Every structure is written in structure tokens, then in C-alpha cells.
Structure 1
Amino acid sequence: MAKYYYTYEGKTLGPVSPKEVLDLILDDVLSMDSSVMESSSPQWLKIRDIPELMRYLHESEVQITDWAEDKGFASIDEENVPLFFHIPVSRLVWLSLITFGFYEIYWIYRNWRFLRFHRKGRTAAYFGRDLRNPVDLVGVFSQISTDQELGGRYNGRDFTLNGWLWIVALLTQVARSILGFTPFLSVWVDFALTFGLLALSILCLVPVQKHINEGNAKAGKPLSRPTFGHYASIVVGLLAWLLVLFSLISRLVRLFA
């Protein structure tokens, strides 16, 4: 398999394998328009113009979508693109409640996608890869804090702590959902803990959303349009609520039987 050289920060690095080229794209070091040179050839070519690399990228487990095609398919009018995920705070709160927090996954995705797709010209096809890394998710909160278009550099706000608390609440809630309600706690304490974690995760997002909305209001940007993920999170969240209520009713029946 061919090896390739690439340039980064004025330095020529490599050689790297096609798999390593894929990793460099996912890490935002390279893009589809970056030029690389095969070790056996003196010619520099764009990644998109090398059949072997393109075949490997499209056959890989992580599918890389052409950013230009993705953008064209979405028919995005740059002037009307909201800054980050622009929705009313009240809607975020209620959707988080009725979806048992699953809407918050969609919320972080939309903000992540704004940074990845609109700002860096990258595809959003590998969100699942970054979702497994808490540092990357907290980085979204940090970048919202300092974003120039939102005026973050001038107000001294820092949402990094919000991000970490949100991650802790989310992971704890997910772990408890997988393991079931804690058997050694009373049913009411267990239920209160569940709602407490949900409330904590929502409270972590509210000031961030307010900051996003203020920046959009100043820039005259419209609200974000709902996508498939909006409706999917609602369906999944309602199913989660049914499971929670079923578990609660079952425990109450056993308690009073």
C-alpha cells in the first residue's frame, strides 16, 4: 500500500498510510483539498484527486462526505445560517424534559456541527467518533464562550465548567438507565435522583443557550430549522419516558403488594 507525505505548519511530514491520512482528516489536520505526495512520485496532488485514497476513504468504516457536495445538497444560504444552534430557551428546556434528556444530544450535535461544518469546512459524518471523547464535547462549550461572532471574547464568560457538569450528569444518567434503578435506594429517592440529574443537565445548557441567542439576536439571524435528529430525539425520548414510568409503576406495585 502506498505511503504519502503531507505538509503541516510549513513542515513536510510522513510518510503515512491511507489509514493515517484518514485519521489526519478526522483530526482536522488535513482536508479533502489538502495536497499530498506519494512516496514513489515527486508530484503533489489533492487528496480528492488520488483514486487510491478516495477509494480507501469511501470504503472505510468512517464515511467521509465531500464537503462541497454536502454543502450544495443542504442548499445553505450563508447569510441566513444561525450562529450555532439557535432555539428559544423555553423550547430547549421543555424538549429536554419530554425527551428525558435525549434532545440534549441533538443540541450538542447541532452546535458541534456548526463548528465542524460551517467554520472549518469539514463533514459532520464522524460526530460519533468525537462523541466518545468528553474533551471534544467540552471543547464545544469552550468555543461558544470565546466565539467572536457571539461576542464571547469581550464578556469574560466561560462555559467550560458547564460542559463538564453536563457530561457528568449525562454519563450518570446513561449509566443508571443501562443498569436500571438503583435497588438499594427507596423508589422515591431513586426517582428524585433521576429528575435531579435531568434538571442539572438542563441548567448547564440554559446560560449557554441564552448566550447563543443573544449573539444571534444582535446579528439578526433566524431560528435554526428542525432536522431529522429533532424528531428522532423526541421519539427516542418518549420511549425512554415509557420505560422509566413502567419501572416506577412496577416498583410501586411491589412496594405496596
Structure 2
Amino acid sequence: MDVSENLYAPQRAEGVSATEAQRPFYTVSRTKFLTLFLLTFGSYQLYWAYKNWQQFKQASGKEMWPIARALFAIFFTHALYREANARIKQNGTTYDWRPGELATLYVVIAIISNVLDSLVRKNIGFPTIDLISLALLPLHGWVTWQGQRGLNKAAGDPLGESNARLTPINYVFIVLGVLLWALMVFSFTLPPE
């Protein structure tokens, strides 16, 4: 061990670059974010929330459970955006992104989306509820992306250029998403029972 290493610094996870480990929040480009969000029917937001809290935990050294904060993102998104806004101010920069309003909008859309998805699973209101749920997906993605822009700014990578390339696992989820989208479109063409 090098004597210059900080013994009290949070340990980096295996396979995490030094630059990524030093960033207080997860950064991602707009194209990659929206592609993964839309093609995974919004499931990407679980990974997104987890990575943001994991990065924050590593950078701050605060004790928390990133997985729990990701699973219950509606309760923790305001705190995440507040931390990012505090970091922006701490860096001596400004960014007009209205974190409180964006977090509230994220929570409201997430709750509406969950209610609609619950109705879809119970086959209530087919196909109208399904179509409303699908129409809400781009709005949900766009609102979440607006929050990500603030997180990117707080992490010192406003455009998310350090995470713009798709990885092999991203392509796996893209292929699965395209297949799921195709299956869903096909199901709408079938005659009602």
C-alpha cells in the first residue's frame, strides 16, 4: 500500500474507474439515458437511482443503503436532488434546475405510473389504460432526465460525456427492450377476447 493513500477514504468497487469513484453522483449522457429509460419501460430508473446513491455514498462516506434508496426512490429523490444542488453551490457554480420542483414532478409521475401499471396487471381498462401508461413513459423519462442534468452538473460532467458509450450489458437490455416493445405492439394488433 502506498503511504500517500488515504486509509480512511471509501474503498472503490472492483472495476470502477478512479474518476467515476471520485464523482459524487452518477453521470450519463442524454442519448444513453433516454435510450435505456424508454427501451426498458422505465426500469432503468432503478439502476439510475442506485448508481446515484452508490456514488454519493462513496464520495461522502455517509452510511446509507443505496439499494433501499433506489427501491423507494419516491421517498429519496428530493434528498438526492438537494445533495446535488448543495454540491453545485459548494463548487461555486450555479445551475437553474429547480431541484425541488423536479423531484416532486418525478414522484407524482412515478406514483401515477405505478397506479396505472397496477391496473394494467389486473387487466383493467384494456387497452386505454395501457396506452395512457405508455404515453406517460416519455414524460417520466424526460422529467427524470431533467433531474439527471442537475446531477451531471454537480458531478462536474454537465453533458455526461464520461458515460456516453453503450456497454455490452446496455446492448443486452436494449435488445430485450426492443423485443418487449415488439411483443407489446403485436399484442395490440390481436383481436379482443
Instruction: Return the alpha-carbon distance in structure 1 between the equivalents of residues 16 and 187 of structure 2.
Output: 49
State the 1:70 CA deviation.
4.3
SS where residue 169 of structure 2 aligns? helix
- Match among 169, 180, 187 for residue 109 of structure 2: 169
1:235 equivalent to 2:179? Answer no
Q: 1:119 to 1:196 in 2, by over 3 A?
A: same
State the 1:83 CA deviation.
4.5
- Match among 162, 167, 171 for residue 223 of structure 1: 162
Match of 1:95 in 2: 36
Instruction: Return the alpha-carbon distance in structure 2 between the equivalents of residues 171 and 120 of structure 1.
Output: 31
Match of 2:132 in 1: 193
Match of 1:36 in 2: none
Question: Aligned AA for 2:134?
Answer: F
Instruction: Return the alpha-carbon distance in structure 2 between the equivalents of residues 237 and 201 of structure 1.
Output: 21
Instruction: Return the alpha-carbon distance in structure 2 between the equivalents of residues 240 and 100 of structure 1.
Output: 10
Instruction: State TM-score, norm by structure 1.
Output: 0.53
Q: Which aligned pairs between 1:26-105 and structure 2 lie closer than 5 A?
A: 70-71=11-12, 73=14, 77=18, 81-105=22-46
SS where residue 128 of structure 1 aligns? helix
Match of 2:67 in 1: 128
Q: Which has the greater radius of gyration? A: 1
RMSD of aligned Cα (Å) = 4.2
Q: 1:225 to 1:190 in 2, by over 3 A?
A: same
Instruction: State TM-score, norm by structure 2.
Output: 0.67
Q: Structure 1, residues 111-160: CA drift from partner, whole Å, max 9, x if none?
A: 111222211254x6x32333336332321122222323785873454212
Match of 2:191 in 1: 254
Higher RCO (C-alpha under 8 Å, 6+ residues apart): 2
Match of 1:17 in 2: none
Q: Structure 1, residues 158-189: CA drift from partner, whole Å, max 9, x if none?
A: 212222222332343344434426756462x3
Match of 2:87 in 1: 147
State the 1:103 CA deviation.
1.1
Identity %: 15
Q: 1:247 to 1:93 in 2, by over 3 A?
A: closer
Instruction: Return the alpha-carbon distance in structure 1 between the equivalents of residues 35 and 16 of structure 2.
Output: 30
Is 2:10–2:58's contact at 8 Å kept on the other side of the alignment?
Answer: no
In structure 1, list runs of 5 or more residues that go unmatched: 1-66
Q: 1:178 to 1:157 in 2, by over 3 A?
A: closer
Instruction: Return the alpha-carbon distance in structure 2 between the equivalents of residues 206 and 234 of structure 1.
Output: 22
SS where residue 100 of structure 1 aligns? coil
Q: 1:69 to 1:88 in 2, by over 3 A?
A: closer
Higher strand content, 1 or 2: 1
1:210 equivalent to 2:155? Answer no
